[in-house]
Chains A and B, each alone.
Chain A
Amino acid sequence: MSTHAATHDDAHHDDAPKGFVHRWLFATNHKDIGTMYLVFALVMFFVGGSMAMVIRAELFEPGLQLVQPYFFNELTTLHGLVMIFGAIMPALVGLANWQIPLMIGAPDMALPRMNNLSFWLLPFAFLLMLSTLFLPGGAVAGGWVMYPPLVLQSGESLAFTIFAIHLMGISSIMGSINIIATILNLRAPGVDLLKMPLFVWSWLITAFLLIAIMPVLAGAVTMLLTDKYFGTNFFNAAGGGDVLLYEHIFWFFGHPEVYVMILPAFGVISEVIPTFARKPLFGYKPMVYAIASIAFLSFIVWAHHMFTVGLPVGAQLFFMYATMLIAVPTGVKVFNWVATMWKGSITFETPMLFAVSFVILFTIGGFSGLMLGLVPADYQYHNSYFVVAHFHYVLVTGAAFGIMTGVYYWLPKWTGHMYSEKLGKWHFWLSVISVNVLFFPQHFLGLAGMPRRIPDYNVAFADWNMVSSIGGFVFGATQLLFVANIIYTVYFAKARAPARVWEGARGLEWELPSPPPHHSYSTPPEIRPGMLAHEDAH
């Protein structure tokens, strides 16, 4: 291996494979695969987003105007599945692919061919899933949670969707194995575990979560499949089965899954805030421990999604306490971000704007989460628009804003060009205003008694729904600016980005030129003082 590297000439080594098929279909380079993940996620963001636009258009005023109720249910179901499995998760994996090797001084991901397979499963999985829209009987319409018995009333689309979920699950598990193998084996000498960037830490822990939960989801949906096609009665009360069994299994997957979507975003924010505050992260170790304890706790709170099913009081109490406990490490993270800005020297480039809005708006989702965690109150909030508001604050202004933060932050590094700061600021301000117009009134709707997943509603809910829809349309349209900015950066931007794109940036990725060579480190980088962001962290 070393002789090979030595005899090979470097310029040749840096060349990306020529030809579309060779470069992309057979891609094994972490940067190319990362790019594909990110592009795929962006496409899915718009696919899921178009569905949301139709949903908000139907809800613009009372009465049915655009779609039939059953199709409405297909849309909400697919919107959820596409956004979670198609947009947020692949985008985070894309960030991981690009950044982890750069940040730990590794030549590439540990298992490049498996990396190729993890990515290429996804387009097929989603083609399969989206194709069900055109099947007789339409797509699955039981909600993204796919509760039986309702979901078993779907047509043959159920089998397609379940197969697609299996593919996504396999993809996620392989991606996670790759990430763990890379982080544990390929760190450059001197990059100790407790000196790793927080983004890397967050993905290490997330990858373990994914390996633990994806098989659980696979089991649950496979039982759905056998219940529908092979006469089993896992979830059929009339056959001795138990409907609640599904809910328990699903949420054992489902709650950690929501943390899969937020922990890497926490990681991004923990990189960006120190850079623009020009100050090391406050409380590095507590931040790592907070992620680890959130991950642990996420396994013992699943029944907070089931407070209204009639569990024994003792169980409800246990899950209430465990859920409330999660607020503690979550709070610690927020306090640490604020403390990082304290006595800093702050500037507000687009990534920082998104990061600050993340801290503020994600916290609103944390507050509503705390409210939902109190069982007697949840009896009123459950399945209402209040929950819809909660999870969109944590997922859109949390996970999605975290991803946008990361994209703006690292795009100059990836492309070697600066994005347009002006366009970025327009994107930010329009997004941050419209997203609140979109989701904040949904708290009111839920408290006023509007259930989620309905295509039509009483006229008392009309006003806030119209406000929310207007916010939705503006938010949707604004995301075109994001795409425009990315296209501009990749193809048109003139300004070259320096190696250290941001004045305050610390960490190995900023030691490489922008864009980094196709193979970042043929030999492990030598770590000199000042290169790592957390070298004397406590």
Chain B
Amino acid sequence: MPRPRTTRILRALALLAAALISLPAWANPEHPVPWQLNLTRGASGLSHDVWDLHMAVFWVCVGIGVVVYGALVFALFKFRKSKGAQPDTRLTHHTVLEVVWTTIPVLILIGLAYPASRLLVYENDTNGSQLTVKVTGIQWMWRYDYISYLGRPVDKVGFVSKLAEDSNVARQEDGGVSPWSVVSKHGVHDYLLDVTHPLVVPTHTKIQFLITAADVIHGFWVPALGWQADAIPGQIHDAWGKFDKPGTYRGQCAQLCGQDHAYMPIVIKAVPRAEFQQWLADQQSRTRIDRIARTAQVGAAAVPQG
């Protein structure tokens, strides 16, 4: 009598767990959501592959867990002294069983290692990138420099990206501003996930990131890209990513970098290619105007001194 009910409850629980865990809608690729349980699938084929690997190894663990915990719980109920269980003290060895439970894990691991290796090689191949951006971690901000786009060098486009002002006000102790009150114009609660100048990139473009640091180690992590990369002084770490949809993708410095480690978010704004083209052209002409202005100034300043 109790058996059908327990199986029904168990099945319901398993279904619920499966539904909760596999709901990709529960994660938004652009930013975290309340009560989020799982990794975002991210914004490109690359990050989808990472998500698939993550889910594959997760389900493998669930499967092994069901077998091992199942056996354990069974033993705990079945072989109790209080139920009159007599110990079988000769059961201390079973060669076949031991060979089986050593080889099956090896096979499972090979099954996981194969896709993981392929993905790893793919992920580390930055060939064929169309946009190259240099990312520099600095205590406590990021600097972005555009190096080249579609094979042509970019003329001095670069800027520093810091924690946005409203977050900065709200983060002060006893500042009287609630973190909950910090909201973007699209209604996203972006406390500590908003910056003064987002990194602007085109969609549908293989972007190469050259990541380094000026002072201490930082960590460049935007979950939608599908990876993070340490930013290390004296090293250039190259990695690539892509965005299939326009959006504002948020991440944070992942590597402890001192006092304000929690306050150097990363925001990448992916826009359609045409819009990016326009933005880049604007930036370049602004640099040129800046440069002309500066040379004029330097020239003017030089005269009285000379």
Contact = CB atoms under 8 A, between A and B. Distances in A.
Interface of A: 62-65, 68-70, 73, 141-143, 147, 149-150, 153, 237-238, 241-244, 277-284, 286, 308-310, 313, 316-317, 320-321, 324-325, 327-328, 331-332, 334-335, 338-339, 341-347, 356, 359-360, 363, 367, 370-371, 374-377, 379-380, 382-384, 444, 447-464, 504, 537-538
Given A335-B101, A375-B116, A455-B262, A64 B57 contact: no
Interface of B: 27, 31-40, 49-50, 53-54, 57-58, 60-61, 64-65, 68-69, 71-72, 75-76, 79-82, 85-89, 91-94, 97-98, 101-102, 105-106, 109, 112-113, 116-117, 119-121, 123-124, 170-173, 178-180, 189-193, 211, 215-217, 219, 221, 223, 226-230, 232-235, 237-239, 251-263
A309 B117 contact: no
B92 A281 contact: yes
A370 B93 contact: no
Contacts of A277: 79, 87
15 contacts: A63-B170, A63-B179, A149-B215, A279-B92, A286-B98, A316-B124, A328-B106, A345-B81, A346-B85, A374-B53, A374-B112, A448-B33, A451-B253, A453-B256, A454-B262
B234 A383 contact: no
A286 to B, nearest CB: 6
Nearest to A77: B256
Nearest to B93: A538
Contact of A447 (B36, B88, B261): B36
A179 B217 CA distance: 39
A344 B75 contact: yes
Nearest to A62: B179
B253 A449 contact: no
Nearest to A340: B92
A379 B50 contact: yes
A2 B34 CA distance: 73
Contact of A279 (B87, B121, B232): B87
A310 B261 contact: no
Nearest to B218: A150
Given A62-B179, A309-B232, A448-B39, 5 more contacts: A63-B173, A141-B258, A310-B232, A328-B106, A367-B65
Contact of A460 (B32, B119, B259): B32
Nearest to B173: A64
Contact of A345 (B87, B113, B173, B257): B87
Contacts of B170: 63
A362 to B, nearest CB: 12
Contact of B256 (A142, A347, A356): A142
B54 A371 contact: yes
Contacts of A453: 256, 261
Closest 3 CB pairs of A and B: A237-B234, A379-B227, A454-B262
Contacts of A461: 32
A500 to B, nearest CB: 16
Contacts of B116: 320, 374-377
Given A282-B92, A328-B102, A345-B80, A451 B254 contact: yes
